[in-house]
Amino acid sequence: MAIEMQSEFLQLIQLINTSAQAVAQGYSDAGLPHPSANDGAPPLPAHFAAQAATHQASLTLVAACRQLIASVMAPTTYAMEIAMAYHYSVAVRAAIEAHVVEVLRDAGDEGMHVNEISKYSNINPEKLARMLRILAIHHIFKEVAPDVFANNRISLTLDKGKDAKTLATTNPAEWYEGSNGYAAIFAFTADSGIKSAAHIPDILQDLEVANSYDPMDAPIVKGLGQGLWTHLNTAGNEAKLHRFNTAMVGSQLFANAGDRLLDCIGWGTFPSGSVCVDIGGGVGTQAMLITKEHPHLKMIVQDSAPLENQAKQFWASVDPDAIPSGRVEWTIHDFFNPQPVKDATVYFLRCIIHNLSDENAGRLLRRVRDACSPTSKLILADYLIPFACPTPPDSKTASLVNTPDVPAPLLNNMGKSMGYLLDLAMMALFNSQERTIEHWNSVITKAGFKIDRIAGNEGAFVYIICSPS
Ligand SMILES: C[S@@+](CC[C@H](N)C(=O)[O-])C[C@H]1O[C@@H](n2cnc3c(N)ncnc32)[C@H](O)[C@@H]1O
C-alpha cells in the first residue's frame, strides 16, 4: 500500500478527492447547491463569493483532473485532440455570431430546435447543430434532445446583452456595444487570433524572419496582410475595431479573484487631484473602473485617433459627468512620442507591454521615464509567466515573486493555461510575448525603473509596481 500511495496516479486521486470535498463544502457553507455546468441560471453574487472562497481548492482540482486525464487517455488521441483544438474556437465564434445564447435565453431548460435557432442568422441549421454539438460535449450549451439546445452556465458567458431579434437586424459594428465584452473577446480570438496563429509554425521555420521581433514580421501579417492596429483602423473594418475595443472590456476576465485592479494598487492612498495616466488605455475601460471607486483622482486616458468617437460614446454612456467635469480626459497620443503629461502620480499600462518586443517596450518605457518625477509610479498590468518546473531558488528575482505552494505531483503553474495561451496570441498578433520575472526585470531595469512589488501570484495576471531608479 505504501508503494501504491507514492504513485502519481494515486496522489492525483487523493488531491481530487480532498479539493473536490473542499469545493463542495464551500458551496454548502454558502447555502448553495454544488456547482454544475448544467445549471442554466445566471450566477448570483453568492456564486461568485463561493467561487472566490474555494478558488485555491478549485485550482488544485482542475490541475489534478487535467493531469489525470493526460495520464489515462491514449497518447495519440490526447495529442490529436490538442492538434484539432482550433475547431472549438471556430464553434464558439459561430455560436456567438448566430446569436444562439440570446435566442435561447427564454427557452429555459427545455431548449429550442436548431431550425428555430438558425432563423436569427444566415447559418444553415444542420451545420449550426454540428457547431453547437461540439460545444455541448465540452459543456458549453446542452443538447437536451436531438438537435434541441439549451443554455447552461458556460454558454451564458457568450451573451452580448441584447435580444436576438435586435441583433439579427443590427449592424455587426453594434453587436457588442455596451456588453460585458466577453463575447467580443471570444469572437476576436476566434477570428483574427486564429487566422494569425495558424501561420506561427511557418514563420518559426522561415529563415528570413525566424529571429525577428519586428511586428511587421508577425504571423498576423501573413494571415491578414497587415499589423493588428493598421488592420483595425482600415476603412471597412469598423465592426472589427468596435469588437476589439469592447473585447478590452472583456479582458477583465484575466484578473483572478484577489488580484483585482481596485484591490491591490492602493489608489485610495493617492492625494486628491493626483494625476493617473492610462497609456494606450483604449476607450478607457480601466480608467472607468478606477474613477468609479476613486473619483478624487484625475484620470487621463491616451490612445490613438481612430478610437476617439467610440471613446466619447463610451464615456457618455457609462459616466456622462466624467469628461465634462474634467475628472477624466480622453486624449490622442502616440506612446512612442515624448510623454506630454509630466510628473504624474501614476503611469498605468495595462496589456500594452505584452504587445511589444523588448526593443519597442524599452522605447515606450523610456518616454515614460523621461516624464517621471522622482516619486512617480509606473504600474504595468500583464501576466507573470512561471516555468512549468519550479523556479530555481537561486534566482535573483525570486524574492519579488509570490509563488503559491503547489502540491506534488502538480505542475508549477497549477495547470493554468491562460497566460501561456496569451503568450502565443502575442506571438501571433505582434511578434511579442508575455514575460517571466527575469524577463520583466530586465525590460524594466533597462528603461530606468526598479520593481517595488508585484501584486498577484506568479502565473496570474499581475500588477507590477515600479519606481524610477
Ligand atoms: C491590448 S489594447 C489594451 C487597452 C487597454 N490598456 C486595456 O487594458 O483595456 C492596446 C491598446 O494600445 C493602443 N495602441 C497601440 N499602439 C499605440 C500607440 N503607438 N500609441 C498609443 N496607443 C497605442 C491600441 O489602440 C489599444 O487600445
Question: Does residue 41 or residue 386 have the better pLDDT?
Answer: 386
Position 4 confidence tier, pLDDT thresholds 50, 70, 90: low
Distance from Cα 384 to the centre of ligand 1, integer Å: 19
CB 65, CB 16: distance < 8 Å: yes
Cell matching residue 49: 463569493
334 lines ligand 1 (CB under 6 A): yes
In sequence order, the 6+-apart residues with CB closer than 8 A to the CB of 341 are: 275, 277, 300, 302, 371
Ligand 1 pocket check: which of 248, 276, 354, 382 to mutate, most ligand atoms within 8 Å of Cβ? 248
Q: Are residues 16 and 113 in the same domain?
A: no
Q: Which of 147, 182, 187, 156 is nearest to 37 (CA)?
A: 156
Q: Are residues 411 and 308 in the same domain?
A: yes
Q: Residue with the nearest Cα to atom 20 of ligand 1?
A: 334
- Residue at 176 is within a domain: no
33 DSSP 8-state letter: P
Q: Are residues 435 and 299 in the same domain?
A: yes
81-95 pLDDT tens trace: 999 999 999 999 999
Q: Are residues 373 and 402 in the same domain?
A: yes
Residue with cell 504571423: 219
233 lines ligand 1 (CB under 6 A): no
- Residue at 353 is within a domain: yes
Q: Are residues 305 and 271 in the same domain?
A: yes
Mean pLDDT value of segment 354-378: 98
Domain housing 72: 2-80
Helix axis angle for 358-371 and 437-446, nearest 10°, is: 50
163-172 pLDDT tens trace: 999 999 999 9
Pairwise CA distance, residues 277 & 279, whole Å: 6
Distance from Cα 101 to the centre of ligand 1, integer Å: 30
Domain end point (choices 170, 191, 206): 170
Ligand 1 pocket check: which of 301, 350, 352, 357 to mutate, most ligand atoms within 8 Å of Cβ? 352
pLDDT score recorded for residue 126: 98
How many other CB atoms sit within 10 Å of the CB of residue 36?
10
Q: CATH no. for residue 162?
A: 1.10.10.10
Distance from Cα 310 to the centre of ligand 1, integer Å: 14
Q: Which of 261, 283, 369 is nearest to 332 (CA)?
A: 283
Q: Are residues 426 and 299 in the same domain?
A: yes
- Residue at 137 is within a domain: yes
Domain end point (choices 80, 114, 144): 80
- Residue at 177 is within a domain: no
Q: Are residues 161 and 15 in the same domain?
A: no
Position 256 confidence tier, pLDDT thresholds 50, 70, 90: low
Pick the atom of ligand 1 nearest to 364's CA: 19
Pairwise CA distance, residues 161 & 251, whole Å: 17
pLDDT score recorded for residue 149: 98
Q: Are residues 242 and 266 in the same domain?
A: no
Helix axis angle for 308-318 and 285-293, nearest 10°, is: 30
Cα dihedral sign, 21-405-64-197: positive
Q: DSSP letters along 114-182, please? A: HHHHGGGSS--HHHHHHHHHHHHTTTSSEEEETTEEE--TTGGGG--SS-HHHHHTS-GGGTTTTS-SH
231 lines ligand 1 (CB under 6 A): no
pLDDT score recorded for residue 43: 75
Mean pLDDT value of segment 443-469: 95
Q: Are residues 60 and 131 in the same domain?
A: no
What count of residues does the chain have? 469
Helix axis angle for 238-250 and 308-318, nearest 10°, is: 50
pLDDT score recorded for residue 57: 94
Pairwise CA distance, residues 72 & 55, whole Å: 26
Q: Are residues 364 and 454 in the same domain?
A: yes
Q: Residue with the nearest Cα to atom 6 of ligand 1?
A: 281
335 lines ligand 1 (CB under 6 A): yes
Label residues 187-203 b or e (16+ Cβ within 10 Å = b).
bbbbbbbbebbebbeeb
310-345 pLDDT tens trace: 999 999 999 999 999 999 999 999 999 999 999 999
Structural domain count, the chain? 4
229 lines ligand 1 (CB under 6 A): yes
Q: Are residues 188 and 138 in the same domain?
A: no
Q: CATH no. for residue 368?
A: 3.40.50.150
Ligand 1 pocket check: which of 216, 301, 333, 351 to mutate, most ligand atoms within 8 Å of Cβ? 351
Question: Does residue 154 or residue 394 have the better pLDDT?
Answer: 154
- Residue at 422 is within a domain: yes
Domain end point (choices 252, 286, 307): 252
Pairwise CA distance, residues 270 & 379, whole Å: 14
Position 121 confidence tier, pLDDT thresholds 50, 70, 90: very high
pLDDT at 258 over 50: no
Distance from Cα 355 to the centre of ligand 1, integer Å: 9
Q: Regarding beta strands 275-279 and 328-332, do their DSSP bridges make them parallel or antiparallel, or are they unpaired?
A: unpaired
CB 16, CB 61: distance < 8 Å: yes
Q: Residue with the nearest Cα to atom 12 of ligand 1?
A: 280
pLDDT score recorded for residue 415: 85
- Residue at 175 is within a domain: no
How many other CB atoms sit within 10 Å of the CB of residue 318?
17
Residue type, 37: A
Pairwise CA distance, residues 243 & 233, whole Å: 12
pLDDT score recorded for residue 404: 81
Q: Are residues 92 and 201 in the same domain?
A: no
Distance from Cα 431 to the centre of ligand 1, integer Å: 16
Distance from Cα 286 to the centre of ligand 1, integer Å: 12
Pick the atom of ligand 1 nearest to 245's CA: 27
Q: Residue with the nearest Cα to atom 9 of ligand 1?
A: 248
ipTM associated with this complex: 0.99
- Residue at 196 is within a domain: yes
Pick the atom of ligand 1 nearest to 336's CA: 19
pLDDT score recorded for residue 42: 78
CB 290, CB 299: distance < 8 Å: yes
- Residue at 319 is within a domain: yes
Pick the atom of ligand 1 nearest to 349's CA: 6
Sheet of strand 346-350: strand arrangement: 328-332, 298-303, 275-279, 346-350, 377-383, 461-468, 449-455
259-281 pLDDT tens trace: 578 878 899 999 999 999 999 99
Distance from Cα 334 to the centre of ligand 1, integer Å: 9
Residue type, 296: H
Pairwise CA distance, residues 353 & 362, whole Å: 9
